[in-house]
């Protein structure tokens, strides 16, 4: 199978390394200088240092070359870059032959529109292109290293989800299929917001009890939001829900948790983001989720205070006080 991975950040590079063991893979980056540097070093020094790229992996800044003859396209950009990349695939590249299918790896809501990735995909590609979301607890470094990882591939077409999962599944990377696209996308997006809250809690040295409470109540918020948008309840207890939330809220490899840690230590948001060198999706997703929650009349207090901290309306300690001041109620 020919697979095009669009986006040469850490996650795109890691999944390309994994797939190159079984498939013909092209890794595309929009930056010609970055492509040249990766080809010369056979390593993505900027985003995934220390992992040699297989000789068979084609790295290019030529979009048409990367997508030519592809059976499967994996979009590994941030959520902010998803629409632009899909439009480019539709209008440039190979103009989407009937056989092609598209999967995205990003976890967030589109800024301003608040749309989930599958809604963006249908708007840009139409309803006839097989599409899906790959999500779950996964750090790029560990996937590139070949450490055991399990993910969920969700598509409304259950047969396509199974086939695409089989294509990506292999070695230490297990891929399960699901037909709950909304649930998988909501879980992946909102867990990043909860991870910022967990980082703030840890940065304030509030202890393991507080973090466990945030993760548990955060999962309740994620589920509440997902059900309001039509997701299945069981999805939130699986890899894309509980699994990804626990990983992102507790590990120092988590960009979103590191943003929360920095904010708790008094670092301005711009400086915290600048120090990452990567996108922290939760910073942008918090605003869209908070807005959608208000529209849907869903109570999401953790999301709300995270958004207010990010906007400078509350300090981290004030946010904690606001959460603790809430009236007790039945769980």
DSSP state of 237: G
Q: At what angle are helices 208-228 and 281-296 packed, to 10 degrees?
A: 50
The angle at the Cα of 134, spanning 128 to 137, to the nearest 5 degrees, equals 165
Q: Give the C-alpha separation, 46 to 255, whole Å.
A: 16
- The active-site residue out of 107, 191, 297, 317 is 191
> Which of 251, 278, 215 shows the shortest CA–CA distance to 49?
278
Per the CB < 8 A criterion, the answer to whether 134 and 151 are in contact is: yes
Q: Give the C-alpha separation, 149 to 111, whole Å.
A: 29
CA distances for 141 relative to 48, 81, 209, angstroms: 7, 22, 29
Our measurement of the distance from residue 289's CA atom to the centroid of its chain's CA atoms, rounded to an integer in Å, reads: 15
Our measurement of the distance from residue 10's CA atom to the centroid of its chain's CA atoms, rounded to an integer in Å, reads: 12
Our measurement of the distance from residue 308's CA atom to the centroid of its chain's CA atoms, rounded to an integer in Å, reads: 22
What does residue 153 show for φ and ψ, rounded to 5 degrees? Answer: -110, 115
- Collect all residues with Cβ–Cβ distance below 8 Å to 211 and sequence separation of at least 6: 198, 201, 202, 249, 250
Give the tokens for residue 47: 């985003």
Among this protein's residues, is 317 annotated catalytic?
A: no
Enumerate the active-site residues.
191
């Amino acid at each position: 199978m020919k697979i095009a991975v669009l986006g040469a950040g850490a996650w795109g590079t890691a999944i390309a390394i994994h797939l190159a063991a079984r498939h013909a893979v092209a890794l595309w980056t929009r930056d010609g200088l970055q492509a040249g540097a990766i080809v010369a070093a056979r390593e993505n020094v900027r985003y995934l240092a220390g992992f040699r790229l297989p000789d068979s992996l084609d790295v290019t800044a030529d979009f048409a070359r990367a997508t030519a003859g592809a059976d499967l396209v994996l979009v590994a950009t941030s959520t902010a870059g998803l629409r632009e990349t899909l439009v480019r695939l539709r209008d440039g590249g190979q103009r989407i032959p009937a056989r092609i299918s598209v999967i995205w790896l990003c976890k967030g809501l589109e800024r301003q529109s608040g749309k989930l990735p599958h809604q963006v995909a249908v708007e840009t590609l139409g309803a006839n292109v097989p599409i899906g979301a790959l999500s779950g607890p996964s750090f790029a470094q560990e996937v590139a290293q070949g450490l055991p990882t399990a993910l969920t591939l969700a598509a409304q077409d259950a047969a396509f989800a199974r086939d695409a999962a089989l294509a990506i599944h292999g070695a230490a990377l297990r891929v399960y299929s699901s037909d709950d696209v909304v649930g998988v996308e909501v879980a992946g997006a909102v867990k990043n917001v909860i991870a910022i809250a967990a980082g703030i809690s840890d940065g304030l040295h509030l202890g393991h009890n507080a973090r466990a409470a945030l993760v548990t109540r955060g999962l309740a918020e994620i589920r509440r939001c997902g059900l309001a948008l039509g997701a299945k309840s069981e999805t939130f207890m699986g890899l894309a829900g509980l699994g990804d939330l626990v990983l992102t809220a507790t590990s120092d490899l988590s960009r979103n948790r590191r943003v929360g840690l920095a904010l708790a230590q008094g670092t301005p948001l711009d400086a915290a983001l600048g120090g990452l060198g990567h996108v922290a999706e939760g910073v942008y997703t918090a605003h869209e989720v908070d807005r959608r929650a208000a529209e849907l009349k869903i109570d999401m207090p953790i999301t709300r205070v995270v958004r207010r901290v990010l906007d400078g309306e509350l300090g981290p300690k004030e946010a904690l006080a606001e959460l603790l001041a809430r009236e007790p109620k039945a769980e």
